[in-house]
Amino acid sequence: MAAGSCLLLLLLLPWLVTASHSPPGCKIRITSKGLDLVKQEGLRFVEQELQNITVSDLHGKEGQFHYNISQVKVMDLQLALSDLYFQPQQHLVFNINNASISLRFRRQLLYWFFYDIGSINASADGVHIHTVLQLAKDKAGRLKISNITCNASIARMHAGFSGTLRKVYEFLSTFIVTGMRFLLSQQICPSLEHASLVLLNSVLDTVPVRNYVDEHIGIDYSLLRDPAVSTDTLDLDFKGMFFPRARENQELENHAVEPVIKETERMVYVAFSEYFFDSAMHAYFQAGVLAIELEGEKVPKDLEVLLRATFFGTIFMLSPAVDAPLRLVLQVSAPPRCIIKPSGTSVSVSAFLNISLVPPGRPAVQLSSMAMETKLSAKVFLQGKALRVQLDLRRYGPRWGPAEAAARSPLHPAHGRFLPCRFRIYSKQSALESLALFSLQAPLKTLLQLTIMPIINERTKKGVQIPLPEGMDFTKEVVTNHAGFLTVGADLHFSKGLREVIEKYRPAPTVPPYPSSRPAEPSADARQL
């Protein structure tokens, strides 16, 4: 019995592992080169935080000497030796070595009846700070700094004294300097802990998790699991699923190929599987917006003449409705499917095209109802942080065959050309009518390219934001197709400093510990698309 249970467990183990690992629709990899850029901005942020350190007053008594040190202010920092690197499995390590901090504080001394006040300049040398940030997914599926470990030490501290009681201060310098070094070292880590767990997490709050894309659909960018950190990379697996706003809890199962990022040459890589695009088209289909109607003067004149000639017999029998305007209704019959190959990206679409006459004051008369199948070419690109897709009934392909193309330079200006995509129409009623419709295939394809495609591309012009914090943007993007997914390799730059973003979204005391899972409304704000 025990042997049978073990055998059953072994048979089910692969299925259980697969079931527990949901493939991401979107994946982001940050490399060591990207981390170097983050280090530069992070160092400026740490300098600003350490300059705001608040040190408690120091006071005491030695015999008849009473002293008080107050109004401690950081004047300058030298953080020349710093390092930020990945530490498996979920950590970032930030080190500062041999730094120096210049201070100025107010002194007060009472000795019998002598009273002296003034300022003291001091410097802390050999400052070492070691911090380890743990990264994790929170309950809302957002990346957060979940914990910080910090150690700080000061090797030496010097103070310069002046004034009539300079000798007295030099006598007391051991007590003053030792006390100041202790107080200062005790304030470094609390300052960095607040900066990480509160301020930097407020920057991570600007990453979109569940946002509305437009009035019809939204996007779910929640993390599926904790980040995976290696010595050179940080990988983030996002759900990457669109949903119709009328059915926000609707789930679309992911059976697509999981994106695999192997490259490390650029600062950041973003990968999208076919599921990412399929879920967008499925959400639009569920929202009922994949339909276009043209009537009367909106129907291109050349096409109207051709349609009237094609259906002349039927129209003639409808007298006196011969001169009634035409109506074309194009409606997608099933959710379109995205196909990503190394050679390019395409979208397969099945639709119905209904052609009717609409006599004024009378019911519409259907002339034909035909099925349409086409494969659209899709160009995927980034504009800012918005991922955009431009559809075309033509695809860009080689001008020559493989042998002739290999003999020519890839930089030849005419190395490629637009090639026709698959397109066919047929009658849903009879094979004979399908044969009669053959003459309409080329004009209808031209209609789609010149009239319908611009409308569709205008609707998708806005794009959808990639989940990066506000103030961080892409540069020098390169899109590469693979089997079942595509990757975007890019460099990063900060359009806003961390401090600027923090001040804009500084959390109020009443904010709940975890953000709401309800999507945000569409906004003109650049961080919500």
SS3 sequence, 136-185? EECCCCCEEEEEEEEEEEEEEEEEECCCCCHHHHHHHHHHHHHHHHHHHH
Two structure tokens written together for 147: 């914990």
Give 332-389 pLDDT, tens digit per residue. Answer: 999 999 999 999 999 999 998 888 888 887 888 888 788 888 888 999 998 888 899 9
pLDDT at 284: 93
CATH architecture of 33-205: Super Roll (3.15)
Least confident of 50-64, 131-145, 424-438: 424-438
Question: What's the whole-number mean pLDDT along residues 95-124?
Answer: 82
- pLDDT at position 1 is 46
Q: Topology of 290-395+419-467 in CATH?
A: Bactericidal permeability-increasing protein; domain 2 (3.15.20)
| pLDDT for position 245 | 92
**Residue 10 pLDDT class (50, 70, 90 cuts):** very low
Q: Coil, strand or helix: which one is 345?
A: strand
CB 210 within 8 A of CB 223: no
Q: Where is average pLDDT lowest: 31-35, 250-254, 439-443, 450-454?
A: 439-443
CA–CA separation, 31 and 341 (whole Å): 25
- What's the whole-number mean pLDDT along residues 198-226? 93
User: In which band, very low, low, confident or very high, does the pLDDT at 396 lie, cut at 50, 70 and 90?
Assistant: low
Interval 474-498 mean pLDDT = 93
What value does the mean pLDDT of the chain take? 81
Predicted local distance difference test score (pLDDT) of residue 279: 95
Rounded to whole angstroms, the Cα distance separating 169 from 118 reads 11
Q: Give the start-to-end residue ranges of the domains of the chain.
A: 33-205, 290-395+419-467
> What's the pLDDT at 297?
84
| pTM listed for this prediction | 0.81
Average pLDDT, stretch 88-104?
Answer: 92
Provide the pLDDT confidence category of residue 39 given band limits of 50, 70 and 90. Answer: very high
118-122, 427-431, 487-491 — most confident range: 487-491
Banded pLDDT at 233 (limits 50, 70, 90): very high
> Other C-beta atoms within 10 Å of 482: how many?
17
AA letter at 85: Y
Q: Say which DSSP state 223 is in.
A: B
Higher pLDDT, 257 or 166: 257
At residue 13, does pLDDT exceed 60?
Answer: no
pLDDT tens digits for range 496-517: 888 888 888 775 555 455 444 4
- End-to-end CA distance of the chain, in Å? 58
Q: Long-range contact list for 305-313, CB < 8 A, 24+ apart? A: 306/439, 306/440, 306/443, 307/355, 307/367, 307/440, 310/436, 310/437, 310/439, 310/440, 311/355, 311/367, 311/368
* pLDDT on residue 313: 59
* Token pair for 432: 């004979």
Give me the pLDDT at residue 172, please. 63
- pLDDT tens digits, 266-310: 999 999 999 999 999 999 999 988 888 888 888 878 777 877 777
DSSP string, 403-445: HHHHHS-TT-TTSEEEEEPPEEEEESS-HHHHHHGGGGHHHHH
Q: How many CB atoms lie within 10 A of CB 151?
A: 12
Per-residue model confidence (pLDDT) at position 508: 59
pLDDT by residue (tens digit) across 172-199?
A: 667 777 877 888 888 999 999 999 999 9
